[in-house]
């Protein structure tokens, strides 16, 4: 997708320190970390929100979620982690989704307050 920062990271057009890469998704550090460890798990397929997913996309998202615990020691998640997906709605953006390419925030590395 043209002009999508995460598509550009996936294609290599924008440099990022990709720490994991498979057929479904990549993981790289968030540019503006909100915790000591802050990664983004980003599907290679461009879609903006959960509302745009078809059944195959849902299966792919399930595979991503299943892979995160397997990567625990590689990513330093042994003390636990928090996953967040910010979602823009049809008529508002209360969650404040900024990048319109679905992504999962992985926050860890310290005690996280709500
Ligand atoms: P969200 O509000 O859920 O859309 O979050 C978007 C996240 O993407 C923010 O935490 C940004 O810091 C992060 N971000 C934006 N551009 C980049 C980039 N080039 N590399 C890494 N993270 C980015
Ligand atoms: Zn994209």
CATH code for the domain in which residue 99 is found: 3.30.428.10
Under 8 Å CB-to-CB from 79, ≥6 apart: which residues?
108, 109
Q: Which pLDDT does position 84 carry in this prediction?
A: 98
Measure 41 CA to ligand 2 centroid, in angstroms. 13
Burial 25-50 (b: 16+ CB within 10 A, else e): bbbbbeeeeebebbbbbbbebbbbbe
Smallest CA separation from ligand 1 atom 5, residue: 98
Give the domain extent around 47: 5-108
**In a domain? residue 104:** yes
H/E run at residue 73? helix 72-75
**In a domain? residue 30:** yes
With left for phi above 0 and alpha for psi between -120 and 50, is residue 96 left, alpha or beta? left
**In a domain? residue 50:** yes
**In a domain? residue 58:** yes
Low-confidence ranges of the chain (pLDDT < 70): none
Q: Which pLDDT does position 2 carry in this prediction?
A: 84
**In a domain? residue 114:** no
**In a domain? residue 113:** no
Measure 90 CA to ligand 2 centroid, in angstroms. 19
38 is an active site residue? no
pTM, whole model, 2 decimals?
0.97
How many separate domains does the chain show? 1
């Amino acid at each position: 997708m043209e002009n999508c920062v995460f598509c550009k990271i996936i294609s290599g057009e924008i440099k990022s320190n990709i720490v994991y890469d498979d057929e479904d998704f990549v993981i790289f550090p968030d540019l503006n970390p909100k915790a000591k460890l802050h990664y983004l798990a980003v599907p290679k397929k461009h879609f903006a929100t959960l509302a745009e997913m078809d059944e195959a996309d849902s299966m792919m998202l399930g595979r991503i979620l299943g892979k995160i615990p397997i990567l625990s020691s590689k990513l330093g998640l042994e003390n636990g982690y928090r996953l967040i997906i910010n979602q823009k709605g049809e008529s508002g953006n209360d969650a404040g989704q900024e990048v319109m390419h679905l992504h999962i925030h992985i926050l860890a590395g310290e005690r996280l307050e709500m």
